[in-house]
Chains A and B, each alone.
Chain A
Amino acid sequence: MTQDTIIRTQGATKIYNPTLPDEMVALDNVSVTIHQGQATVLKGPSGSGKTSLLSIIGCMSRPTAGKVIVKDRDVAKLPERYLTHIRRKIFGFIFQQFNLIRDISVQENVALPLYPADAGFAEIRKRVHTMLDSFGILSKRKLKVKKLSGGEQQRVAIARALINEPEIIIADEPTAHLDRELAADLLNILAGLVREGKTVIIATHDPLIFEHPFVDSTIAMRNGKIEPQPEEQ
């Protein structure tokens, strides 16, 4: 089994409010490797820098120093427009709080990532329907998001993350607001995505996730640094 590297960071450092009194080193010289088609878990206590790492990996922000290589390309210094393009083409995000637009319909929420892309209206409609159908919420497509239950909202959020057929799915504490049952549902969905060949990166401190069998590797973080992993040797 070949394990292609899809994302690599080299000495990535993220400092918030540099040179100000409330300067905060969120990532300190972090070098990690993420393999294609695997489920990688970032674990660590709150404030250890998981979200910061996901955000520079997912091209949501740039590292203060160091390299972030996504598919053989250093994105650390790319201009904003390219980052947006990469986000749109390569990544799907599942946020801790669903980050849906609550007052518009389910189908529009799911369609939003396709608006700036090339797809026409007919194609968008078709893809959104297929996607909603596969999550069993097609019948709710015209409802406003705020009318849905938590579990349904979770599925809308996942549908939106997948609509642009991303290679890499990034999930930040996806089970934090879910009960056991919904969390298990979500993990099944994520496991299914890995089986389809997608790369999944999850940040969490929920043992339910990193003890789950579909997880291929675990990276532990503390105070913005990677902790050495006994089982990786």
Chain B
Amino acid sequence: MIRRLKILEHALSSLLRRKYKNLAIIVVYSFTIMLLASILFLTHSLKIEAGNILLDAPELIIQKTMAGRHDLIPVEYADVIRKNWGIGKITPRYWGYYYDAFTHSNFTVLGSDTPLPILKMLEGTAPSRPGECLIGEGVAAVRQIGIGDELILINSEGLGVIFDVVGKFTASSDILTNDLIVLGEADTMDFLGFPPGKATDITVEVLNPKEVQNIAGKIKRDLPDTRPITKQEIIRTYDAVFNWRSGMMLTIFSSALVAFCILAWDKATGISGEEKNEIGILKAIGWDTSDILELKFWEGIVISLTAFLTGLLAAYVHVFYFGATILAPVIKGWSVLFPPFKLIPFVNLYQVFIIGFLTVVPYVASTIIPSWKAAITDPESVMRG
């Protein structure tokens, strides 16, 4: 043990000799690791959150398609659906999009007459009378309004409509509600210009979750121009979306990693004559081949472990305390409304170990391997300058 510490001591002395160079390597390496870890932390946390909250999404959604595109669904389709066994409530939904030319942002307009329960994430109430609305934090922010103010939107006939803001979702629910404008159902139909008897889609409650596939298949057969979407598909979609987003970012930033590897490789492969001579000296004064390799091992560990831990800590703070500010421009795309990430720190330890393994091991290897040859040759050469 003491012997290991002594060799570590010399490794540190060795590294301190080129302290600015090694410091630069640690900084660059830490930064690279921070970016990679941030991406993984961010997408993992979002994925877990999505998987958790969407558990309460409707079990089955029936869309109508027309000319290969999503179309409004006739409300009387509900009667056909109701004929199936094992079905609970069937609810037509009225929702759509609203492009706000004032702020160049897209809002989601949603009709709902269900009174919301009391929630920490909700200030005020849901609309209970015509002309009232409940808005998300993002809408409130770009429009610079709050509870008690008026929200003026332009309807499908080009006329301005005034809604009283009676409720607002707080920022903690941004990930779900940022761009939402909740109106009463009648207001929504009127505002978005739904033809009578048509809804956006129909949600179907399925009493036995195991029957969802079965029922979806039956509905598809009974109503060939519809498309059923199951909750399972929604959740899987989010898995795919975040895997994809993370993959895209990893691709971008892996170029940084590759650049770093080239640097490390370059540094490592050509060990200088000076270093070879030093290894010879150490061997001549009684260091064993294994001692030399251990020295190189420590040199690699000191740099890569420090960089790994620094990068990981920085990533954690960056993602979970600062809302991934560095990554935000990359993830945001061009949308105007974008929720600040207040992420729940779901961390996958397995991922942490993978990052550690992928950063520390190759670096240590690239320090040890090039010294191998010098370490096993006889020290005789140092006697001849």
- Tell me, yes or no, whether A and B come into direct contact in the complex with CB atoms closer than 8 A: yes
- Taken together as a complex, chains A and B put the C-alpha atoms of A95 and B280 apart, in Å, by 12
- Taken together as a complex, chains A and B put the C-alpha atoms of A76 and B3 apart, in Å, by 28
Contacts of B210 in A (CB 8 A): none
Contact assessment for B285 and A60 in the assembled complex, using a CB-CB cutoff below 8 Å: no
Q: In the assembled complex, how far is the CB of residue B227 from the closest CB belonging to chain A, in whole angstroms?
A: 72
Instruction: Tell me whether A222 is interfacial, beta carbon within 8 Å.
Output: no
Per DSSP, are chain B's interface residues mostly helix, strand or loop, or mixed?
A: helix
Most buried by A among B278, B288, B378, B383: B383
Determine which of B13, B281, B287, B385 lies in contact with A108 in the assembled complex, contact meaning CB atoms within 8 Å.
B13
- Interface residues in B285-310 (C-beta closer than 8 Å to A): 285-289, 291
Report A83-101 CB contacts with B as 1/0, cut-off 8 Å: 0110111000101110111
Contacts of B186 in A (CB 8 A): none
- Interface residues in A169-204 (C-beta closer than 8 Å to B): 172
- Interface residues in A43-90 (C-beta closer than 8 Å to B): 51, 54-55, 60-62, 80-81, 84-85, 87-89
Determine which of B6, B17, B289 lies in contact with A115 in the assembled complex, contact meaning CB atoms within 8 Å.
B6
Instruction: Tell me whether A9 is interfacial, beta carbon within 8 Å.
Output: no
Determine which of B277, B286, B288, B385 lies in contact with A113 in the assembled complex, contact meaning CB atoms within 8 Å.
B286
Determine which of B2, B10, B282, B378 lies in contact with A60 in the assembled complex, contact meaning CB atoms within 8 Å.
B378
Q: In the assembled complex, how far is the CB of residue B66 from the closest CB belonging to chain A, in whole angstroms?
A: 78
Contact assessment for B286 and A87 in the assembled complex, using a CB-CB cutoff below 8 Å: yes
Determine which of A89, A96, A101, A116 lies in contact with B288 in the assembled complex, contact meaning CB atoms within 8 Å.
A116
Interface size for B (C-beta < 8 A) is 30
Most buried by B among A81, A100, A112: A112
Contacts of B14 in A (CB 8 A): 104
Contacts of B379 in A (CB 8 A): 60-61
Instruction: Tell me whether B384 is interfacial, beta carbon within 8 Å.
Output: yes
Q: Which residue of B lies closest to A115 (CB)?
A: B6
Instruction: Tell me whether A8 is interfacial, beta carbon within 8 Å.
Output: no
Most buried by B among A54, A85, A93, A105: A93
Q: Which residue of A lies closest to B9 (CB)?
A: A115
Instruction: Tell me whether A230 is interfacial, beta carbon within 8 Å.
Output: no
Contact assessment for B286 and A88 in the assembled complex, using a CB-CB cutoff below 8 Å: yes
Interface of A with B (CB < 8 Å)? 51, 54-55, 60-62, 80-81, 84-85, 87-89, 93, 95-97, 99-101, 103-105, 108, 112-118, 120-121, 124, 160, 164, 172
